[in-house]
Chains A and B, each alone.
Chain A
């Protein structure tokens, strides 16, 4: 292996499962990258994958990823130094690795080494960990996990459908050290997708907190894709060419400072506003942003524009992370449904509310006492609490949403929406097609587990062998 580079280029081409399918291809082609990261797992994505894995043991990963790799074959051939790190493995990194290997082998890259990481999935180990003293209490409330725990005794897995610890950068670094071209993980902290490549390239010590914090900040800034290149910017009219928005590249230096930029010729913008906005995105205490690798202090950051679409972030400090790892659990918790109607005419907002109450009243008359209900009038500020509602609206959308433990109650609600069109006020329309259906609700349960109880394992195989 050659010496330590002065800097590495990490581009993130996916900020969530469902992000633009062409972004990873364009970014890899034009980003001059050392590492392409693809981040797919929101807080509840794994519970959706859990349902898929129940139906098919070979499922449970983000299927977009192997398909994307098939499209990246020519780029991987023309850029032999490019490596990919992703959390697309979801609940089944091994199956994701096999399918990815098939994409590589079919494209003539059978020699490329595919790595996958396991150890984050705690669901099969809940009873064992409970016996070892883990309580899985709610992060905020301290309550015991429903459907699980020493007191419940029976059917511990009945309600819990997924439980995954957030792994850190170590297994990613190990996989890259051992020659992986593609690293596929399940749940890891989003920022660790960038810290892993940094540790591999720069050989920092694992307690070099300030430099780890620099890499973690780079990862945090690019993890949501185009949100740092113009997406979500308050002054969105100042963002050029949203339609061709470029995805972000972090140029991370060996001292831990980074420059955020995007490929030339793309839309969007990288400036102090986009970077500072994203630095604060979905954080709590900015002086203590926890990742499994390092706790970051954003309050000491310096953020400076150093060129067109170039912003340098330096001075981030780091500290030793907590002794526990965050765990995301999901459990089945009843059913929900929502129905929409368009309401027009004088005092449309008042009319819509009356229609909503009518629907809920009739569900009650049918003998169902819905556990939770919410009537919203879209157009009258439903998503803008605190903002004054405009008077005399002539057209709004009524949205009624309900939840109950009992599917039958929610089903009855679904049947009570269309009757309002003939048995309520005039000017109600927009009800076309089929009735809404009750959807199973997967409730989110954030908790922690001791690091000592989580053991990441790295597997590596050449694509040609794995695909066979």
Chain B
């Protein structure tokens, strides 16, 4: 198994009582793989504890990215939520821990060296 975080980066935040998670593959190969395995259902199941009323997946192929919109998962939103992460800031971090089946071409999906 691999972690989603091996082949993609992500960031999350709130829109009222909804959360969004932008997931960006490090490579074209990674995007093609995620297009197959990272459907809205899989993300919804992963976050079942938050009881999303709906999960939308929006593809951005030019950017090798997906935007996931998780409806009504923030316990009322920033001011009313009783959760520590009332704004869904940690959800991207949580999603990057998701385990996925080993792809055949993992080498092509890993990030390059970062410029410093």
List B10-28 residues whose CB lies under 8 Å from chain A.
10-11, 13-18, 20, 22, 24
Cβ contacts under 8 Å, B94 to chain A: 383-387
Interface bracket on A: 35 or more
Q: Are B20 and A271 in contact (CB under 8 A)?
A: no
Number of A-B contacts (CB under 8 A): 151
Q: Which residues of A are found within 8 Å of B58, using beta-carbon distances?
A: 285-287, 299
**Does the CB pair B63–A301 fall under 8 Å?**
yes
Q: How far is the CA of A235 from the CA of B7 in the complex (A)?
A: 11
B115 within 8 A of A: yes
* Closest A residue by C-beta to B66: A280
* Contact for B9 among A44, A235, A240, A285, CB less than 8 A: A235
Complex Cα–Cα for A212 and B78 (A): 30
In this complex, what residue of B is CB-closest to A48?
A: B79
Complex Cα gap A303–B82 (Å): 38
Q: Is A441 an interface residue (CB 8 A)?
A: yes
Segment touching B, from A147-155, A182-190, A371-379, A415-423? A371-379
Contact with A along B41-81 (1 / 0, CB 8 A): 00000111110000010111111010101000001111110
- Inter-chain CA distance A330–B5, complex, in Å, is 37
Compute how far the CA of A282 lies from the CA of B46 in the bound complex, rounded to whole angstroms.
Answer: 20
Measured CB to CB, the nearest residue on chain B to A446 is: B16
In the complex, the answer to whether B11 meets A278 with C-beta atoms within 8 Å is yes
Name, among A271, A299, A372, the residue most crowded by chain B CB atoms within 10 Å (CB to CB): A299
Separation of A68 and B9 alpha carbons in the complex (Å): 35
Q: From residue 270 to 310 of chain A, which have CB atoms closer than 8 A to chain B?
A: 271, 273, 276-287, 298-303, 308
Point out the residue from B9, B20, B24, B47 that lies within 8 Å of A282, measured CB to CB: B20
Cα(A285)–Cα(B114), bound, Å: 30
B17 touches A232 (CB 8 A): no
Contact B22 A441 (CB under 8 A): no
In the bound complex, what is the Cα–Cα distance between A76 and B116 (angstroms)?
33
Q: Closest residue of chain B to A271, judged by CB? A: B115
Within 8 A of B (CB), among A382-407: 382-387, 399, 401-403
On chain B, the residues within 8 Å of A279 by CB distance are 22, 63
In A72-87, which residues have CB < 8 Å from any B CB? none
Q: Is the CB of B11 within 8 A of A280?
A: yes
A333 within 8 Å of B by Cβ?
yes
Q: A273-B24, A277-B11, A283-B20 are in contact. Are A301 and B62 (CB under 8 A)?
A: yes
* A280, B22: Cβ atoms closer than 8 Å: yes
A221 within 8 A of partner (CB) = no
Say whether B24 contacts A384, CB under 8 Å: no
- The verdict on A181 contacting chain B, using a C-beta distance below 8 Å, is no
* Residue pair B79, A441 in contact (C-beta under 8 Å): yes
Query: With an 8 A cutoff between CB atoms, is A442 at the interface?
Result: yes
| CB of A459 within 8 Å of the partner chain | no
Determine the residue in chain A with the shortest Cβ distance to B11.
Answer: A277
B13: chain A residues at CB < 8 Å are 281-282
Known A-B contacts A234-B5, A386-B49; the reply to A284 vs B80 at CB < 8 A is no
Residues of chain B touching chain A, judged by Cβ–Cβ distance below 8 Å, are 5, 9-11, 13-18, 20, 22, 24, 46-50, 56, 58-63, 65, 67, 69, 75-80, 82-85, 90-98, 111, 114-116
In the complex, 24 of the A-B residue pairs with CB atoms within 8 angstroms, ordered by the A residue number, are A140-B16, A234-B92, A238-B114, A276-B63, A280-B11, A280-B60, A280-B65, A281-B13, A282-B14, A283-B15, A284-B20, A336-B82, A372-B82, A374-B83, A382-B84, A385-B46, A385-B47, A386-B46, A386-B94, A387-B94, A403-B82, A441-B79, A444-B79, A446-B16
8 tightest Cβ-Cβ pairs between the two chains A and B: A280-B22, A238-B114, A234-B9, A374-B82, A401-B82, A282-B13, A383-B90, A383-B85
Contacts beyond the supplied A280-B11, A385-B49, A386-B49: 15 A-B pairs with Cβ under 8 Å: A47-B79, A276-B65, A277-B24, A278-B11, A279-B22, A280-B20, A280-B60, A281-B22, A299-B61, A301-B63, A336-B82, A382-B84, A383-B83, A386-B95, A402-B82
